[in-house]
Every structure is written in structure tokens, then in C-alpha cells.
Amino acid sequence: MNKKVAIVTDSTAYIPVEIRKDLQIEMVPLNVIFGEESFQEELDLTTDQFYKKMETAEELPKTSQPAIGQFVELFEQLAKKGYEQVVTIHLSSQISGTYQSALSAGDMVEGIEVFGFDTEVSCAPQAYYVLEAARSAEAGADANEILEKLAFMKKTAKAYFMVDNLNHLHRGGRLSGAQLVVGSLLKIKPILHFEEGSIVPFEKVRTEKKALARLLELLEQDVSQGGNYYATVIHANRLDGAEQLAQTINERFPHVEVDISYFGPVIGTHLGAGSLGLSWQKQYT
């Protein structure tokens, strides 16, 4: 008999609320702190409100992971609803303690088994795993089958991004001082990516135009090997740039499904407005 499996993620997957409701995905929010005020992203603070606040903020906001009690409470509620297993899918454990908190909470709750998946990324690529997990759970897969699928997906998942200003990453402790100085002095637009869950420079490129061309080249290297792919352009308060990049992908790679997502408050705090990202994934069959 199939086990009843719940899918949990955090707010940094930036999955629209109607999709979460439709696929019964539970979401635990991370927090953004402006001075003395703390906001749960996606609940107390929309992405638009966040970027407006950033424009007038005297100092950069800070971010924090959910309290462990939020996970305990959610897992207890899911157990009461008759769920036997939870697959909880989170942003990279190298940039946030959220994944570890979820696992620790799982150990505290009786009557339900909690399985964790560290995406080693965030934002749209994190959402790819969550959506696949939710559809699999709906189709009757158990936690181990879902985790097997997600591990397979990880082999073809790619995500690159470029920031408009390296200061945010540096001040948030996500980039070293030496990398900051080199980038700022030479006006370099580094292409960044996740490596073993940490944000590191992938390549240093002189201009944004060259950086975007390089992202398209990297996408082409993968899709030219065959199979069906979907891609997501991700932006930090820069919809026009995202739409242009999505249009270019549509024209150059008509067989790739493209959509647009965004860097919400928590991730936007570290990347800063104006950042653009591109992620893609081979479709799981």
C-alpha cells in the first residue's frame, strides 16, 4: 500500500501560492530583517515591497532561517492529517541552516518519517525539485522513490547568475574580500554558480553583454546533446532584462521550454537588485 507523502520546502523556492495549493506543497518562510523589523518573506513582505524598501534602506537588510519550532509544528500537523512521510526540500545547506533545522525538527516529531533533500542551490532550480517531488507524491511514489528521482535530476541541473554589484555578496559573507577587490577594480561581471552548495565565481567576464552570451553558450552545450530541457530566467527587480533573455532563448532554442522567475527578498538581499540568473534542467522522463 502506498504511503501518504507530504512535500515541504522553504520560501526561497519562490513557487507561486496557487501552484503550492494545487500541488499541496507546504512552505516554511525564511526571514528578512530591516533594522529592528523582521518579515517572513512571501507572507509579510512581497518581492516588490522588498526592492522598494531596499532603495531607501540606510543599511543592507539581514536574513535568518526559520525557527526550528516552525518545522516541528508543521510536521506534527502533517502527522495528524495522516501523512506517514515528509520529503523536505531546501536551499543549499552551505548558505543557510534551514535544511539542518528541518532535519533536526524531524527527529523531534513522532509518528511521521522526515526525509531531507539538500538542493545545493536555491530559487527556480530548487523549485524544479519541489515540483517534481510533489507530482511524484501525487502519483503515489514513496519518499525513497522521490529522493531517487531528485538525485537523478541533480546530474543535469545547472544554474548560473551574474550580479550587478558584488558588495551585497561580500557584505553577506558569501564572497571573499579578495574576489570583491579584483571584481570591482576591473569592472568585471563575474558569472557565479553553486559549487558543492557554495556560491563561487565560475568565470570572470568583462561586460554584461559577454556574460549573457557566455550563459547562452553554456546552455547550448547541454541542450545540443539531445533530450528535452526547460530553462528559467531569474531576475532581481529587472523584468525587462529577464524578458529579453527569455526571448533570445526562445528564438535560439525553440525546443527548450522557458519561463521567468525572480530572486525574492532573502536571495535578493545577498545578490542585490539588477542581478540576472539562468538555470536549466533536463526533463525527467
- State pLDDT tens for residues 210-238: 999 999 999 999 999 999 999 999 999 99
The answer on 138 and 79 residing in a single domain is yes
Q: What is the pLDDT of residue 190?
A: 80
Q: Which amino acid is at 126?
A: Q
Q: Are residues 149 and 163 in the same domain?
A: no
Asked whether residue 73 falls in the same domain as residue 172, the answer is no
| C-alpha grid cell, residue 71 | 518545522
- Are 231 and 93 in a shared domain? no
Residue 90 in any domain: the answer is yes
**Is the predicted pLDDT of residue 285 greater than 70, yes or no?**
no
Tell me which residue range forms the domain holding 185: 158-282
Task: Choose one of 154, 183, 211: the last residue of a domain.
Answer: 154
**Helix (DSSP H) and strand (DSSP E) numbers for the chain:** 11, 13
The count of domains in the chain is 2
In the predicted model, is pLDDT for residue 207 greater than 90? no
Q: What is the pLDDT of residue 279?
A: 97
- Last residue of a domain, which of 154, 183, 209? 154
Q: What is the CATH number of the domain that holds 22?
A: 3.40.50.10170
* pTM > 0.85: yes
Ranges 141-150, 166-175, 251-260: which has the least confidence: 166-175
Do both 116 and 192 map to the same domain?
Answer: no
Give the residues across from 8 on adjacent strands: 26, 88
Residues 135 and 149 in one domain: yes
Residue 60, in any domain of the structure: no
Q: Give pLDDT, residue 186.
A: 52
Whether residues 205 and 259 share a domain: the answer is yes
Check which CATH number belongs to the domain holding 259 and give it. Answer: 3.30.1180.10
Domain membership of residue 138 (yes or no) is yes
Tell whether 24 and 95 lie within a shared domain. yes
- Greatest alpha-carbon span in the chain: 62
Q: Which of 99, 121, 154 is the last residue in one of the domains?
A: 154
**Strands, E assignment, the chain:** 5-10, 25-28, 31-34, 37-40, 62-64, 85-90, 113-118, 158-162, 189-195, 198-205, 229-235, 257-262, 276-282
Q: Is residue 58 a part of any domain in this protein?
A: no
pLDDT of residue 166: 61
Residue 44 domain-assigned (yes or no): no
Note whether 172 and 121 are same-domain residues.
Answer: no
